[in-house]
Structure 1
Amino acid sequence: MLLCDVGNTFLHFYHKGKIWKEKPYALTSKRESLPIYYISVNERYERCLLASHSHCVNIAPYIEVDTSYQGLGIDRKAACKAIDDGVIIDAGSAITIDVMQQGIHIGGYIMPGLGAYKMMFKEISKVLDIEIEPGVDLSRLPQNTKDALSFGAIKSIILMIKNTSRTKKIYFTGGDGKFFARFFENAIYDNTLVFKGMQSALSKHI
């Protein structure tokens, strides 16, 4: 089964335990014989997928989550579908935080990702157009601008997650998920989380 998660930067594919990503305008039809079951948060990139592969099935209607949240993104729904209890963090271009409790989505929120922080700093001033340093010392106040920006971005994200998760199990996914998972003892990094949710939904319809 070939799965695809159409995101805002790349298209992520999953097949037989292997994950890879492709740029939307560089798609090939090497796996044309396999149907692609996909979800999408980007209509333009979705059209690239449909133009490159003849047999694609949007499985968004199959993915249902018990929630009162209005407008929960399909990628977040898929990740939540994979976990019954815990906090789900998808750390990508944006960072989404969702809480599942006994199979029910009880709420969530969205924060800028590290790349978005960098872009925001750049918009404020050219002086702040500096790469974020992932190895910044978070145990003491910074003494230079690069560390100050890095400290502010990274620690604000960590503290928000700690405040939300408390004693709950945390499940990280996404491009920066592995980086943030190392700051939490009760964390698991799983880059297949969205695909597991997709598989769970498909198992009831195929």
Structure 2
Amino acid sequence: MILCDIGNSNADFYQDGRVWSLSHKQFKDFATKETVYYICVNDTLKHWVQGKSNFIDLEPYFEFDTIYQGMGIDRIAACSTIEDGMIVDAGSAITVDIMSGGMHLGGFILPGLAAYEKCYASISPRLSLPINPSIALDALPQKTNDAISYGVVKSILLLLEATCKDKRIFFLGGDGKFFSKFFSNAIFDRTLIFRGMLKTIKKTQLEH
């Protein structure tokens, strides 16, 4: 059995504790005779993967307590493993969700770091500069590159800090490990979504 989380930037796989990623182009060349249980937020690839007989879409099998409308299945999978806490998936977008007593209270979405770079570049060619995640946050910047990095990183951290209060924070995603370093009550777990998928497979007895 293989698990697959098809996102906006790539496809992440899980099997027997091992996690690996493929680009969308590589994913289309991926072949296996094993059963692959997947979730997908990429509409283009979703249509493509539906034609694979050994790929099973897990989305219809999830049961999740929320009044949030339009919540992505990747967020649902991650949140379904957490009873209490804040879940931050820092990837192409940064999604933030709050769980309390097994109930989803709501959440919000920020651009990911790469999206912020594109945003600044669209304002002016002079602002087309890479974001330095390791920017010092204890002093005001003295050059444009640092000013952009400071504005992005610090604003994200302050919003996460204000939202989490005393809750435990569960980070995942490509930039999750970086952001987790700023919080003493944080856990970085790149398998969170896959654990949610495994929980659903077990609960619905899909695998025999």
Letter in 2 for 1:17: G
Letter in 1 for 2:58: I
Contact 1:90 1:177 survives alignment (8 Å)? yes
SS for the counterpart of 1:75 is helix
Instruction: Return the offset for 1:61.
Output: 1.1
Q: Please say if 1:163 is aligned against 2:170.
A: no
Q: Please say if 1:177 is aligned against 2:184.
A: no
Q: Summarize deviations over 1:157-196 as a string: whole Å, max 9, x none.
A: 1001000001000000000000000000000000000001
SS for the counterpart of 2:204 is coil
Instruction: Return the offset for 1:26.
Output: 2.0
Report the Cα distance in structure 1 between the residues aligned to 2:57 and 2:104, rounded to whole angstroms. Answer: 22
Q: Summarize deviations over 1:9-30 as a string: whole Å, max 9, x none.
A: 1011111111111122223344
Q: Summarize deviations over 1:107-164 as a string: whole Å, max 9, x none.
A: 1000011111000000000000001111211011100000000000001110010000
Match of 1:129 in 2: 128
Match of 1:110 in 2: 109
Report the Cα distance in structure 2 between the residues aligned to 1:169 and 1:121, rounded to whole angstroms. Answer: 32
Q: Summarize deviations over 1:85-123 as a string: whole Å, max 9, x none.
A: 000000001000000001000010000111110000000
Match of 2:16 in 1: 16
Contact 1:10 1:23 survives alignment (8 Å)? yes
Instruction: Return the offset for 1:62.
Output: 1.2
Contact 1:24 1:49 survives alignment (8 Å)? no
Report the Cα distance in structure 2 between the residues aligned to 1:154 and 1:48, rounded to whole angstroms. Answer: 36
Report the Cα distance in structure 2 between the residues aligned to 1:33 and 1:67, rounded to whole angstroms. Answer: 36
Contact 1:24 1:48 survives alignment (8 Å)? no
SS for the counterpart of 1:195 is helix
Contact 1:11 1:24 survives alignment (8 Å)? yes
**Cα-Cα RMSD:** 1.2
Report the Cα distance in structure 2 between the residues aligned to 1:149 and 1:107, rounded to whole angstroms. Answer: 29
Contact 1:94 1:116 survives alignment (8 Å)? yes
Q: Summarize deviations over 1:23-60 as a string: whole Å, max 9, x none.
A: 22223344x22111000101212344445x53110010
Letter in 1 for 2:16: K
Between the aligned residues of both structures, percent identity stands at 47
Unmatched tracts of structure 1, length 5 or more:
none
Between the two proteins, the alignment pairs up a number of residues equal to 204
Runs of 4+ with >4 A deviation: none
Report the Cα distance in structure 1 between the residues aligned to 2:49 and 2:177, rounded to whole angstroms. Answer: 27
Contact 1:94 1:113 survives alignment (8 Å)? yes
Match of 1:55 in 2: 54
Match of 1:79 in 2: 78
Report the Cα distance in structure 2 between the residues aligned to 1:29 and 1:154, rounded to whole angstroms. Answer: 36
- Length-normalised TM-score, structure 2: 0.95
Report the Cα distance in structure 1 between the residues aligned to 2:103 and 2:189, rounded to whole angstroms. Answer: 20
Letter in 1 for 2:19: I
- Length-normalised TM-score, structure 1: 0.95
SS for the counterpart of 1:71 is coil
Unmatched tracts of structure 2, length 5 or more:
none
Letter in 1 for 2:21: K
SS for the counterpart of 1:65 is coil
